[in-house]
Structure 1
Amino acid sequence: MVQIQARGQTGKVMDAPSGHWVYRLLPPSLWPYAQLARWDRPIGWQLLLWPCLWSAAMVASAGAKAGDDVWTVLPSLWHMALFLVGAIAMRGAGCTLNDLADQDIDDKVARTRSRPLPSGQVSRKQAWLFLALQCLVGLAVVLQFNWFTVALSFASLVIVAAYPFMKRITDWPQLVLGMAFSWGALVAWSAQAGSLSLAPVLLYVGAIMWTIGYDTIYAHQDKEDDALVGVRSTARLFGEKTKLALMLLYGGALICFAWAFASAEVPMPALAGLLAAGVHLYRQIIVLDIDNPEQCLRLFRSNNIVGWLIFAGLVLGSLWVVIKPVI
């Protein structure tokens, strides 16, 4: 486990993973910044990236048919690289902002009190400067796109800035998180098409429901501490009805995704990936034990598989339609 100097004494970062490459490559002086940005926990930026990649694959495969050039039905590699850098930068910026807003709360929760800000490893001024640096990276990424996409990206900042405070005023902070984390579904489509249509909006709505679902599972890890310090969440709201809520959320997400595919006229084989993702999500619900924090974390992380399945369905489905006549 990563060692830090907490309030003058050596301690452990409770929720930092052991043996991550971040701690092998970076000097110890930069570890607190890596922890602020959660570079040692890539699942966050991976989940932020998936709506971008889904939308990029969907807009590329829209209307794909036999005889099309293979390269025209594949998502832009340049755009995907930009989305990757942007997802890492903006997820890190969001986590840094969240830690700044939640420093007093994190200090009262066992799992988070050893994080860089409450433990004194980083000052608030240093955290704000680090936040600004990450935002500059995000800005550099956004400026590579058309002006409609630039404006659309800036519009998301209102949601991103509001999210850290939602857990104090509503039982639905996961809804606001979903709105922020799913914004890439709109951005990736507009980056290629220069405008929006029904398909990316449906993908966005579905991604919001998916996000609420997986973050509800995640929030069950801290529900007891959250109750003590007054933090609100859908985990506390749903309680023993969490499985029913997940059925509705995940089911709604899959319906929206299928509707988006139909609206974009992507090849029918893409639904195979969506079906496989549905099976995986159903298994999450069936095996979920909301009183087992370790299992909740594992199931939360497994949503990266959902991302891969849907993306693979879109890409391979298009390739199958285009290449099959040749074979």
Structure 2
Amino acid sequence: MEKLKDRLHQYWLLARFDKPIGILILLWPTLWALWIAGDGKPDGLVLTVFVLGVVLMRAAGCVINDYADKDFDPHVDRCKLRPIAAGKVTPKEALTVFVVLCLVSFGLVLLMNGYTIALSFVGAFLAASYPFMKRFTHLPQAYLGAAFGFAVPMAFAAQTNAIPLVGWILYLAVLLWALVYDTMYAMVDIEDDLKIGVKSTAILFGRRVREITAGLQVVILGLLLAVGQMQHLHWPYYAGLAIGAGLFAYQQKLIFHFDKADCFKAFLNANWFGLVIFIGLLTAYL
């Protein structure tokens, strides 16, 4: 019994259930999309499936990420205590956990319409292939955004059986948002990544990382403003955008001196941006 308890605990850590920040950052744009697609009243079954799907697929993404980075993580200070890197979970065990999580997620998707089921294969491919991108391109953060944000078009498909223009604009905003906050996350690991040959936008942008991320944040706010205009949303949504702009400015202040701890704080602060946009949406529809 103790051995089983230990295995389950290690799998729990492997799936990062002990660090829910990743779930929240994935969840907020999914809720944005569901509320917009449902005109403020998302279908209960669709909402339940997508919330559970976010939790499971984020866990699956963490597992396959650690499997892909099993040769890199032991050399990165922030990652060397992860279960695979520390030798507490074997790569074979990790793949088994990944498959189980994906199968349960797919079982949930089968409750949706055919369009959503078809899109789920694209989403699963993006999530499973993302961890390997850092070997081939300096833009893995953009690829992460494409994977993380794919819940947006899927939400529109599940709710309306179609993906309107506003859905694609919201998807682009979420993709860029993930690129920005994951670049700030990557700033923490620049020294280790350079040593082991891992690529990232933090390395690509170099000393211009602040200017580039700030410019992208302006674009994100512009896209979200367009979403509000297209949906004829009321003033609370725009109040949320204004607060979000303040949070973006605070994140820029945090990364200004390239301090690792502050860069990580900037990444964590992304959760609050997601929350205030959702509260603005929720209140606008109410």
Verify same fold: TM over 0.5. yes
Alignment deviations for residues 275-314 of structure 1 (CA, whole Å, 9 cap, x no partner): 2111111221123245322222222111111111111111
Tell me the CA shift for residue 268 of structure 1.
4.5
Alpha-carbon separation, structure 2, partners of 1:220 and 1:269: 33
For 1:171, the equivalent position in structure 2 comes to 138
For 1:139, the equivalent position in structure 2 comes to 106
* Equivalent residue in structure 1 for 2:196, among 224, 229, 247: 229
Tell me the CA shift for residue 166 of structure 1.
1.0
For 1:51, the equivalent position in structure 2 comes to 29
For 1:209, the aligned partner's letter is L
Alpha-carbon separation, structure 2, partners of 1:289 and 1:276: 20
State the TM-score, normalizing by the size of structure 2.
Answer: 0.94
Query: What pairs with 1:25-36 in structure 2 (closer than 5 Å)?
Result: 27-36=5-14
Alpha-carbon separation, structure 2, partners of 1:289 and 1:78: 44
Alignment deviations for residues 65-104 of structure 1 (CA, whole Å, 9 cap, x no partner): xxxxxxxx33334333222211111011111111111100
**1:38 is the counterpart of 2:16:** yes
On the 8 A contact 2:254/2:266 being kept in 1, the answer is no
**1:78 is the counterpart of 2:45:** yes
More deviation, 197-206/244-253:
244-253
SS in 1 for 2:27: helix
For 2:254, the aligned partner's letter is V
Q: Which has the higher helix share?
A: 2
**1:189 is the counterpart of 2:142:** no
User: Identity across aligned pairs (percent)?
Assistant: 36
For 1:297, the equivalent position in structure 2 comes to 264
* Equivalent residue in structure 2 for 1:283, among 243, 250, 265: 250
* Equivalent residue in structure 2 for 1:220, among 176, 184, 187: 187
For 2:211, the equivalent position in structure 1 comes to 244
More deviation, 114-123/213-222:
114-123
Alignment deviations for residues 114-158 of structure 1 (CA, whole Å, 9 cap, x no partner): 211122111121111111111112112211211111111211222
For 1:181, the aligned partner's letter is F
Alpha-carbon separation, structure 1, partners of 2:217 and 2:81: 34
Alpha-carbon separation, structure 2, partners of 1:266 and 1:137: 36
On the 8 A contact 1:58/1:261 being kept in 2, the answer is no
Alpha-carbon separation, structure 2, partners of 1:228 and 1:38: 26
Alpha-carbon separation, structure 2, partners of 1:143 and 1:51: 22
Alignment deviations for residues 188-235 of structure 1 (CA, whole Å, 9 cap, x no partner): 111111111100100000011111110011111111000000011111
SS in 2 for 1:170: coil
**1:121–1:287 distance in 2 versus 1, CA, 3 Å:** closer
For 2:96, the equivalent position in structure 1 comes to 129
State the TM-score, normalizing by the size of structure 1.
Answer: 0.82
Tell me the CA shift for residue 186 of structure 1.
0.8
For 1:19, the equivalent position in structure 2 comes to none
